[in-house]
C-alpha cells in the first residue's frame, strides 16, 4: 500500500508521547485525543498531529488506533463507552492496546469487537519512557497473522524489538509474566537491603558486589541506581501501576489454576505501599518503604555508606 494508514493514539503520557511522536515521524498521519495534561498534546499537535475530543471521532477517522492507558477498566470504557471506539468504528479498524492489561478482559473485548468488524491487537511494552522517546521499546504482540502484518510497520516506528507471541491475549499474558518477575525482584532486592543494613553491611556493598556478578541484570541496574545511587528517575514506573499488575497476575493464576504464593507475597508489599499513600512514587522507593517496616532508614544508611 503506497498511502500510509491513518493512526490514532489515546494516552499520550509518559510512554505514549514518545511512541506517538515516532509514529508521526514514520510518516503516518496521526490523530490524538486530548487529555488534562496539555504539554504532550500540544507538543504533538505542533509536530503535525490532529487533535480530537472523543474516541468516537477518532474511530471515524482512523484505520488503526493505539491505546496506552493505565488499566483494563480504562480500556473497556474507551472502547465500549457512548463516545467510545465502537460507537464510531468502521469495518476493518484495528485497535492496538499497549496497556499492561488483564488478559481476560482483553480476550472478552476482542470477541465483542470482531463481531463489529474491529480487530484487537495487544502489544504491551517493555523498557522505559527513555526508550519510548528513542523508538526502541520492546513489544510483545498478541494478534492474528493478518492483523499483525498490517500493524507491524507501525509498531516498528516505536519498537526496537517485536515478538509476535501468538493470538490475541498472548502479549498481555507475557507482559504479566515479565512484571511478575520484575516486581518480585524489586521485593527481594528491598528485603535484601534491609537485611544487609541490619546485619552491618552498607547498601553500596550489596550493589557493588552483586551488580557485576551473574546476579546483575538491567532491572538490577536501574533499581539500584535509584534506591542506592540517588537517581530518582532511573526507573520511572509507579508503585500503583506495579500493584495493579501483580493483581492482574493473581487473576491470571486463578484463571489458569496455578498456585501463586510468591505472587501473593509480592502483591502484599505493593498493595501495602499503595495503601500507605505511596502509589505515585517510583518502584525503587519500595526499598525505603520495606526498610521502614523493618526499622531501617535506608536513605540514611546510603548516606553513611558514602563516608
For residue 207 the three cell numbers come to 550493589
Residue 175 is a catalytic residue: yes
Candidate list 21, 33, 173, 175, residue with the active-site label: 175
H runs (alpha helix) in the chain: 16-25, 38-47, 55-61, 72-80, 85-88, 103-114, 129-134, 145-158, 170-198, 203-210, 218-227, 239-256, 261-273, 286-293, 298-305
Alpha carbons 154 and 26: distance in angstroms, whole number: 8
Ramachandran angles phi, psi of 10, nearest 5°:
-120, 120
Assigned C-alpha cell, 209: 558486589
* Partners of residue 119 on adjacent β-strands: 94
- 142 phi, psi to nearest 5 deg: -110, 120
Contact 92, 121 (CB under 8 A): no
Q: How far apart (Å, rounded) are the C-alpha atoms in residues 142 and 206? A: 38
Q: Please state, in angstroms and rounded to a whole number, the distance separating the CA atoms of residues 92 and 76.
A: 19
Of 61, 282, 256, nearest to 177 by C-alpha is 256
Torsion sign across C-alpha atoms 150, 151, 152, 157:
positive
As annotated, the active-site residues are: 175
Amino acid at each position: 500500500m503506497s498511502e500510509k494508514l491513518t493512526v490514532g493514539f489515546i494516552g499520550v503520557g509518559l510512554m505514549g508521547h514518545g511512541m506517538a511522536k515516532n509514529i508521526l515521524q514514520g510518516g503516518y498521519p496521526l490523530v490524538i485525543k486530548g487529555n488534562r495534561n496539555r504539554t504532550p498534546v500540544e507538543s504533538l499537535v505542533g509536530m503535525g498531529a490532529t487533535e480530537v475530543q472523543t474516541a468516537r471521532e477518532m474511530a471515524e477517522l482512523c484505520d488503526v488506533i493505539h491505546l496506552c492507558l493505565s488499566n483494563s477498566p480504562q480500556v473497556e470504557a474507551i472502547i465500549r463507552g457512548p463516545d467510545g471506539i465502537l460507537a464510531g468504528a468502521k469495518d476493518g479498524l484495528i485497535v492496538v492496546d499497549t496497556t499492561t492489561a488483564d488478559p481476560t478482559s482483553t480476550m472478552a473485548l476482542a470477541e465483542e469487537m470482531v463481531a463489529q468488524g474491529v480487530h484487537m491487537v495487544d502489544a504491551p511494552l517493555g523498557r522505559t519512557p527513555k526508550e519510548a522517546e528513542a523508538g526502541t521499546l520492546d513489544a510483545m504482540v498478541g494478534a492474528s497473522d493478518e492483523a499483525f502484518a498490517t500493524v507491524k510497520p507501525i509498531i516498528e516506528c516505536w519498537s526496537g524489538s517485536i515478538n509476535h507471541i501468538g493470538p490475541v491475549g498472548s502479549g498481555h499474558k507475557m507482559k504479566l509474566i515479565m512484571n511478575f518477575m520484575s516486581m518480585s525482584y524489586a521485593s527481594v532486592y528491598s528485603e535484601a537491603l534491609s537485611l544487609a543494613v541490619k546485619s552491618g553491611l552498607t547498601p553500596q556493598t550489596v550493589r557493588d558486589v552483586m551488580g557485576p556478578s551473574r546476579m546483575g541484570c538491567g532491572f538490577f541496574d536501574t533499581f539500584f541506581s535509584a534506591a542506592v545511587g540517588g537517581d530518582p528517575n532511573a526507573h520511572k514506573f509507579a508503585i500503583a501501576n506495579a500493584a495493579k499488575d501483580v493483581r492482574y497476575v493473581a487473576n491470571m493464576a486463578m484463571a489458569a489454576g496455578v498456585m501463586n504464593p510468591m505472587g501473593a507475597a509480592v502483591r502484599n508489599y505493593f498493595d501495602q505501599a499503595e495503601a500507605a499513600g505511596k502509589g505515585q512514587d517510583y518502584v525503587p522507593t519500595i526499598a525505603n518503604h520495606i526498610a521502614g517496616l523493618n526499622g531501617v532508614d535506608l536513605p540514611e544508611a546510603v548516606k553513611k555508606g558514602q563516608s
